[in-house]
Structure 1
Amino acid sequence: MTRMPPYQDLLTLIEERATAFREAVAVADPVARIPGCPDWTVRDLVTHLGGVHRFWAATVAAGPADGSPPAEAVDGSPPAEAVGGAPSAEAVGGGDPHGDLLEWSAESTRLLLDALRVAPPDQGCWTWWEASGAPMTAGAVARHQVQEAAVHAYDAQEAAGKAEPVPAAIAVDAIAEFLEVGLGSVGAWPHRPARIALSAVEGPTWLLDLTPAGAKANPAPSGEPVATIRASASDLLLFLYRRIGAEAVTVTGDRSVVDDLIAWPHSS
């Protein structure tokens, strides 16, 4: 596992990206479609992210547990946050917002941050990523929620016609977390084994091995990748999340393996 950023930095970044999210929502049409999630409107997106924040606030507050918190412990229903075990922003979760949309969203973020500030970063809690071997702690939840807020801030900005890159420092850690935690939770790779390199213009490169045992990030350096994806850290992250297409990145080597990766886990 890559080293997790400092806990307080993660909380600051959640607040920063959630604020950027609401700034974009404030100028977007509530019924405008989200290009990266075309079945959603802006209001759906707000409902989803608010539900995610309220769900994880209750989950962290509950401490170590064998399952997710019951619905009555959450202000709204638990969000559908995973598709095939991988992190996803593709299903509306949480209860319907009440009152002013932006105020409800801000209150949702406050509930999450309050729960995280009370919990030490090594406090255990339920998470959906047990299969990845990643920590099931408040710190790991905070790390994932930076990624969640960052991708949805991009979604809201795109709907408002003012999409901005994900800040590079956030994107670099989010890529590592996506590969290790998200893909590491999916299960068996359904295609022929392959190694892919993801190379950010800003410097970092990640290796990903895909085998019947699943996805393993940063494996032992033996063997060359069959394909390399190169772009800015922001574009690499958004490509992995299917927010932008292959035309936005540079692929060398076996492009079909990259196509299979982006389609996974839906193709399994």
Structure 2
Amino acid sequence: MTGSLEYSALLQLVDERSAAFWSAVAAAPSLDAPVPSCPEWTVFDLVRHLGTGQRWWAAIVAAGPAEAPPAKPAAEVPRELESLLAWYAESNDVLLRALRESGPDRACWTWWSAGVSPANAWGVARRRVHEVLVHTYDAQLAAGAVQPMPADVAIDGVAEFLDTCNSTPAAWPHEAAIVHYHATEGRSWLLSLDGTGAWPAPLTEDAAPASASATGSAEQLLLFVWGRLTLNDLKTEGDHRVFERLIAWEPEE
């Protein structure tokens, strides 16, 4: 079910979404401002998390195939706004440089290798696009100025989350279920949950009926699967317990 975005488009999106994140942080009332969608985090914590993540995934891609990832960087993160923004911009440049030098097909360690999302630089680039996209929403929320997400990016974000986070051969510990997600922009997805694991696919006309379904804009669906919105923010049908179990599920492989 992996998406069809070209590698060059993914790298451009990493840069564009990072610029939006940078702007949201610059507009926040202070680095100590709380991030409502990330309880107990401040804006500083958010920047540190995302910037450190950019550097860590750069090191992972640069290392190539590996049994385990390199250690996460432990560099000092500046606490003054201008220096922090410069540090984040540099973190983003480090990631983009590693991705450009590797090319899309370079294999590397990933935590999602058992699922359908590829364990290579293309898969990393796609994951980082949506990591930055959602954390930009977090930063904009903290700044009190949330901007609409690009619809096409949010659509790919829903598919990427299913590919990466809801794709596993670990057996579903409840009765088998089928989940449907419907984006009002005209895209829909299916997630099958049974003893073989969790497997996403595009939703076709002859697909099995849903045990539970959720409908909203692609942005709403993306924010829901990332835990920023709740079922109450979507139009839902069927057995809500399926969603509750899926949210709580921590598969062991």
TM over 0.5: yes
Aligned residue pairs: how many?
245
Map 1:223-262 to 2 at 5 A: 223-262=208-247
Following the alignment from structure 2 to structure 1, what is the Cα–Cα distance between the partners of residues 185 and 116? 28
Q: CA deviation at 1:96?
A: 4.0
Following the alignment from structure 1 to structure 2, what is the Cα–Cα distance between the partners of residues 256 and 96? 44
- CA-atom RMSD in angstroms: 1.8
For 1:62-120, what per-residue CA distance to the aligned partner results, in whole angstroms no more than 9, with x for missing partners?
A: 12222212x3xx5x24xxxxxxxxxxxxxxxxx44137111111000000001111111
What residue ranges of structure 1 are gaps of 5+ in the alignment?
Answer: 78-94
Q: CA deviation at 1:129?
A: 0.8
Specify the code of the residue in structure 1 equivalent to 2:177: A
Q: What residue is the counterpart of 2:12 in the other structure?
A: 12
For 1:162-218, what per-residue CA distance to the aligned partner results, in whole angstroms no more than 9, with x for missing partners?
A: 122322111111111111221114833232211010000000100111113221101
**TM-score normalised to structure 2 length:** 0.91
Runs of 4+ with >4 A deviation:
219-222
Following the alignment from structure 1 to structure 2, what is the Cα–Cα distance between the partners of residues 222 and 202? 20
Specify the code of the residue in structure 2 equivalent to 1:158: L
Specify the code of the residue in structure 1 equivalent to 2:21: F
SS in 1 for 2:223: helix
Map 1:1-268 to 2 at 5 A: 1-28=1-28, 29-69=30-70, 71=71, 76-77=73-74, 95-98=75-78, 100-185=83-168, 187-218=170-201, 221-265=206-250
Specify the code of the residue in structure 1 equivalent to 2:244: D
Following the alignment from structure 2 to structure 1, what is the Cα–Cα distance between the partners of residues 3 and 47? 31
The verdict on how the C-alpha distance between 1:254 and 1:261 changes in structure 2, with shifts beyond 3 A counting, is same
Following the alignment from structure 2 to structure 1, what is the Cα–Cα distance between the partners of residues 250 and 219? 22
- In terms of mean alpha carbon deviation, does 12-21 or 185-194 score higher? 185-194
Confirm or deny: 8 A CA contact 2:158 2:221 kept in the other structure.
yes
Following the alignment from structure 1 to structure 2, what is the Cα–Cα distance between the partners of residues 140 and 57? 13
Identity %: 46
SS in 2 for 1:218: strand
SS in 1 for 2:107: coil
SS in 2 for 1:40: coil
SS in 1 for 2:117: coil
